[in-house]
A and B are shown apart, each in its own frame.
Chain A
Amino acid sequence: MIRKFLRHKMAIIGAIIIGLLVITAIFSPFIAPYPPEEQDLMNRFEPPNFKHPLGTDSYGRDIFSRLVYGTRISLYIGVVAVFVSAAIGITLGIIAGYFGGWIDSLIQGGVDITWAFPAVLAGLTLSALFGSSLTNVMIAVALVYWGRYSRITRGDVLSIREREFVKAAKAAGAGDPRIILKHILPNAIPPAIVVATLMFGDAIAVEATLSFLGMGAQPPTPSWGAMLSYGRDYIRIAPWLSIFPGAAIMIVILGFNLIGDGLRDAIDPKLKY
């Protein structure tokens, strides 16, 4: 499986991108040449140069440093949103697949409703309800994307349930929780990882869109989406304010998509997410 993944050259590129991103997030203070909120009104709107590799913004803040710190926010959003939705989705998927019956129908109904519902719209609804915040972004992603996990997990559970070793365990008198934890969950995890990787990119895109609309992170938080939203007022005179955050968002989503594709081919080529 690992060899299959490594054969996938694009996936390796993706892994390198994300690896660098994680390192950047962890070592932000050492990588960033300036503190992210340090102002220098004498050097506003500096185009990229040796002192400021990606230029400065309207307060003379270093764009590169802000992007570096922004990796923390993007990853944080991605990690929380993906884990919460995965936890909800996998649990409900196992319950639906294992128990069947009306519980299954109920959960499947929930999946169908949320399946095509855009997370951005969910995020806007939450902002209208509770005001704008990053928490809303994460809740919105979790609310919409749990169905993705739930659907594949349920399918897996249905096929695993009929397999000999599960039947044997059942015959041996193992209880439901034990069967689920020991036999079903380990088999349901790998496909969920594929979905999670692809979902990561989506979560970051949702954050960027909501922050762009003014409903996510609020400046001066160096969230990429908020930076882009702020920078678009200056796109004519200082395009680097919006080009670089946009590019950063794109590269990260690209990285996760590449890994996700590689993982899908390695784990389950038939997986149609």
Chain B
Amino acid sequence: MSNRRQFWVFGLVLILIFTLLGGTIGFADQEEPKRGGTLRVAVTHGLESLNPRVTGWMNEAYNALYEPLINRDWKNRYKPGLAKSWEFSKNGRQLTLYLREDVEFHDGTKFDAEVVEWYFEEFMGGVVQYIVDPIENVEATDEYTVVLQFKRPYINILYNLSNSYGGLVPSPTAVKKVGLDEYGVDVVVGTGPFKLKERVSNTKMVLERFEKYDWGPEWSENKGSAYLDKIVYEVIPETVTRTAELETGGVDAIVTGVPTIKLESFEQNPDIKVIRGPARQLSWVAFNMDKEESPIIAGDLRIRKAISFAIDREAIREGVYNGTGEINGTYLPPMIAAQDIPEEFRHYYDLEKARNLLEEAGWVDENGDGIREKDGVKLSLKTIMVKRSEDARIGVILKDLLKDVGIELKLEKMDEAALTSVQKTGQWDLCIEDYVWDNADILQWFFCSSMLPYPNWFALSDPKLDHMIEEVAMAQPNNEKRTEKFKEAHIYLLTELVPAAPTHTQVKLQAVQKYVRGWRYKLVNKSMLNVWSDK
């Protein structure tokens, strides 16, 4: 009898233990986020201002402080943001935004249709002027509804209002208090899960949790206030220092400037987690299309093609990016639908083809010095790039590669400010540059004559292209047709115009300590809402 009872007691204890264990295992699996703690984040550049109309260089701090009118989820699909829903008219010339009614700014003022009207009519401008250019009229029809009228079908406004450059709405009260241009230096007021606590010009920035926040977006697991107490952004331009800080635990994350050369050692480090985003940064060798300034390059399509086909893109991928990223023979990163064009139109490495094109164009090495000539002129090209950058490293390899086909490059490395101004003067032949953008309208930005002289510093002016992009592709009322038309323009550019030789698309790399949880790569509008520290 007693034996039997003991058996039961034993069994019960066993069951209890298992349930408890199972419970804890389940608990560990779910990882209940911990509240509190400070996250120290290293970045390469400082932000001159946190004013979206002033600066073209953004980082994640923007998305912790502000929220976009239209958001995007993990898969980059359009989702509600400050606008809970929206509606296009059939012809694509009118958009109605229905706004959230529960949102408040850090300064306690209310977010409503009046704010959005002010945002489009008064705030937008400066570097984001292009977003509002197609807008004809903005009207708040009731307290939480805004209607936008466009000059032409403007389906791409969804993209513009959901990417980090546009759609971020600041508090009108705060902006009016300090002025349109002063805003963003010391005063920053948005609706995001973090508010600005302190900013030491261009070197350090401290954000703290906005306690009232409880309107987290649909894609976010956390809909309430943020887990972290504070986020400290530290600008560490030196690569060695930045990586050493991560390895010694001085910072918790590197969000920009993870050197590809350190990737292997980071991945082997048990304390560090590497996050790889998609390939999104496109590098190319731009051609000066101004016949006055660069007669050799602008004057002959065959030279431009020859240069592009003489580029061993694998050598660049290996030598500059240490085997990361993807080689690219088009003008768009692979994440854009219009990049997906047939193989035959893409540029690739073919020395024979490059040499033949040059011969055909009349460039031959007459004096045996290894460099081709034509009518006594040497095929020697002034090549500009930003110094101490990956572009500069491409330049060094490119010089070596083009020597093989008898082209001499004179490399001139300069800082960014000087590059912009030399691009504008037009006194260059080749320019090694890169861009980060995930929409086909970048082709208009760089190549349409309406964008002369800047951002179309290529000085390309081709009426047929202008028509293909601006009159046809950008005016399509839906995205499938828009992609088709952009593909046509893209192929035309790659075969008939060749304003650049594409080389590579680089992946986005971030590195965080293992104890940083909930950190996932997100293309845009990552708000740090789900990040927590398990330290």
Contact = CB atoms under 8 A, between A and B. Distances in A.
Direct chain A–B contact by Cβ atoms under 8 Å: yes
Interface of A: 37, 39, 41, 44, 58-59, 131-132, 214, 218-220, 230, 232-237
B319 A44 contact: yes
B414 A39 contact: no
Interface in B273-309: none
A255 B129 CA distance: 60
B397 A237 contact: no
Contacts of A59: 319, 393, 396-397, 400
Interface stretch (B153-161, B236-244, B358-366): B236-244
Given A58-B319, A236-B265, 16 more contacts: A37-B400, A39-B319, A39-B396, A41-B318, A41-B397, A44-B319, A58-B393, A59-B400, A214-B388, A218-B413, A219-B387, A219-B392, A230-B388, A232-B239, A234-B261, A236-B244
Contacts of A218: 387, 412-413
Contacts of A220: 396, 399, 411
Contact of A236 (B240, B393, B412, B418): B240
Contacts of B411: 220
B315 interface: yes
Contacts of B415: 214
B262 interface: yes
25 contacts: A37-B400, A39-B397, A41-B397, A58-B393, A59-B319, A59-B397, A131-B414, A132-B414, A214-B387, A218-B387, A218-B412, A219-B387, A219-B413, A230-B388, A232-B240, A233-B239, A233-B259, A233-B261, A234-B261, A235-B240, A236-B244, A236-B262, A236-B265, A237-B261, A237-B262
Interface string B492-530: 000000000000000000000000000000000000000
Interface in B381-433: 387-388, 392-393, 396-397, 399-400, 411-415, 418
Contacts of B414: 131-132
Interface string B237-278: 011100110000000000000010110010000000000000
Contacts of B418: 131
B67 to A, nearest CB: 36
Contacts of B238: 232
A219 B396 contact: yes
Given A58-B319, A232-B240, A237-B261, A39 B413 contact: no
Contacts of B244: 236
B42 to A, nearest CB: 15
Contacts of A232: 238-240
A206 B239 CA distance: 23
A86 to B, nearest CB: 32
Contacts of B243: 236
Contacts of B387: 214, 218-219
Instruction: Output the residue of B262, B392, B400 with the most chain A CB within 10 A.
Output: B400
B260 to A, nearest CB: 11
Contacts of A237: 261-262, 265
> Which secondary structure dominates where chain A touches chain B?
loop
Interface of B: 238-240, 243-244, 259, 261-262, 265, 315, 318-319, 387-388, 392-393, 396-397, 399-400, 411-415, 418
Contacts of A41: 315, 318-319, 397
A214 B387 CA distance: 8
A198 B239 CA distance: 34
Nearest to B319: A41
A230 B261 CA distance: 14
The 9 closest A-B CB pairs, nearest first, are A233-B239, A41-B319, A39-B400, A218-B413, A235-B240, A41-B315, A220-B396, A232-B240, A41-B318
Nearest to A41: B319
Nearest to A231: B240
A237 B414 CA distance: 27
A99 B399 CA distance: 57
Contacts of B261: 58, 233-234, 237
A263 B374 CA distance: 57
A4 B453 CA distance: 69
B131 to A, nearest CB: 35
Contacts of A214: 387-388, 415
B152 to A, nearest CB: 43
A232 B393 CA distance: 15
A217 B262 CA distance: 27
A242 B229 CA distance: 40
A9 B414 CA distance: 46
Contacts of A235: 240
Nearest to B241: A232
B159 to A, nearest CB: 35
Nearest to A229: B388
Contacts of B240: 232-233, 235-236
A186 B261 CA distance: 58
Contacts of B318: 41
A246 to B, nearest CB: 14
Nearest to A220: B396
B472 to A, nearest CB: 43
Nearest to A233: B239
Contacts of A233: 239-240, 259, 261
Nearest to B315: A41
Contacts of A37: 400
Nearest to B247: A236
A58 B390 CA distance: 12
A205 B105 CA distance: 54
Instruction: Output the residue of B318, B388, B399 with the most chain A CB within 10 A.
Output: B388
A12 B387 CA distance: 41
Nearest to B411: A220
A232 B240 CA distance: 7
A155 B91 CA distance: 89
B523 to A, nearest CB: 27
A125 to B, nearest CB: 16
A236 B238 CA distance: 13
A172 B341 CA distance: 95
B134 to A, nearest CB: 40
Contacts of A44: 319
Contacts of B412: 218
B244 to A, nearest CB: 7
B369 to A, nearest CB: 15
A248 B73 CA distance: 54
A214 B237 CA distance: 13
Contacts of B239: 232-233
A237 B397 CA distance: 21
A236 B264 CA distance: 13
A39 B396 CA distance: 9
Nearest to B239: A233
Contacts of B399: 220
A218 B418 CA distance: 14
A219 B394 CA distance: 12
A37 B403 CA distance: 12
A131 B414 CA distance: 8
A30 B294 CA distance: 39
A142 to B, nearest CB: 25
A129 to B, nearest CB: 13
A9 B318 CA distance: 50
